[in-house]
Amino acid sequence: MRTIRNIIILFLILCLGKVAEGQYAYFPDQGTITFEKTVFLKNLIKRYVAYSKDEESRNQIKGVVEGAPENQVLKKTLKFSTNEVLCEHVPEDYPEAAEQLMRMGIFESGISSYQNLKTKEFKSTFELAGERIVIADSTLKIKWKITNEYREIAGYQCRRANGLVLDSIYAVAFYTDQIPVSGGPSAFNGLPGMILGLAVPELHYNMFATKVELSPVTISSNELLKKKDKPLNRKQVYDKLDAVLGDYLGVKVYNLLMGCYYL
C-alpha cells in the first residue's frame, strides 16, 4: 500500500510541476512590467547649465539647481504582447520642488508611449510648455552592440547591450531572452528580448523593472489618445516647439530637452 501511495504522490508532483511549467511557458510573450525611472535632477540641471547659450541663461538655470532634489523616482507600467508594447506613466504626488520642475519642463511630467513592433508604429504623449503633445511616427532605429556582461533584474538573467539612438545619444540596456518580445520602456526596442534595465547617461536617468507579471493583456494605442488630439511626427513636434522655446533656450539646451521627452 505504501508503495502504491508513494507512486501516486510522485505522479501528482510530476503532474503539478508540468502544469506550473506550462503556465509559465504559456504567456512568456504577454504580461505587465512595473518600472521605476530615477531622474538625477541636479545632474540633469547642471547639464542644462553647461549647455546654456549665454551667461544670463546660465545664471537663471543655476538658481534652479539650489532648490532641486538630488533625484526623483517616477513609476511606469509596461504592458506587452507579441508585437505591441504600451508604457504608461503612473501619476503620483511628488514633493513641491519636483512638481515645480515638472511645470517648468525641466523634466518629464508624464510620458506614455506605444510601440507596434510589427508595423513599426510609434505613439507618445506628454505635456510641455503648457501644451499636450502627441507624437505619431515610426519606431526608433537603435544601433545596438551586445556584450558579454550580465546582471539579474526582477528575477531575470539579463544581458547588456550598448546602443546609439537619435544619432548621438548613448544608452545601456539589459534585456532578457526569457521574454521573447523585442521591446522595452519609452521608445527603446530592437533587442532579442525584453529590456528590463536601461540607463541614459546624457539624459541623467535610469529605469529598472521591479516586478514582472506574466498574464494575458489587452493593448491598444487608443488608450493614449483623446478625441481632440492632433498627432504630429517627431520633426513636426521639434519644429513647433522650437518656435516657442528654441531661441529662448538655445540650440544645445533645446536639443537636450527634446531628447529627454523623446526618450
Alpha carbons within 13 A on the beta-carbon side of 100: 8
Do the domain assignments include residue 144? yes
- For residue 252, the domain's CATH number is 2.50.20
Give me the pLDDT at residue 27, please.
59
Do the domain assignments include residue 72? yes
Give me the pLDDT at residue 258, please.
95
Do the domain assignments include residue 14? no
**What phi-psi label fits residue 252: left (phi over 0), alpha (psi between -120 and 50 degrees) or beta?**
alpha
Q: How far apart are CA 81 and CA 60, in angstroms?
A: 45
Counted domains in the chain: 1
Q: Is 200 within 8 Å of 174 (Cβ atoms)? A: no
Do the domain assignments include residue 205? yes
Give me the pLDDT at residue 5, please.
54
Do the domain assignments include residue 215? yes
Do the domain assignments include residue 7? no
Do the domain assignments include residue 4? no
Q: How far apart are CA 201 and CA 74, in angstroms?
A: 17
Do the domain assignments include residue 2? no
pLDDT tens track of the chain, all 263 residues? 555 555 444 444 444 444 444 434 455 899 999 999 999 999 999 999 999 988 888 888 877 877 889 999 999 999 999 999 999 999 999 999 888 888 888 889 899 999 999 999 999 999 987 889 999 999 999 999 999 999 999 999 999 999 999 999 999 999 999 999 999 999 999 999 999 999 999 999 999 999 999 999 999 888 888 888 999 999 999 999 999 898 889 999 999 999 999 99
Residue 236 corresponds to which amino acid? Answer: Q
Enclosing domain of residue 59: 31-262
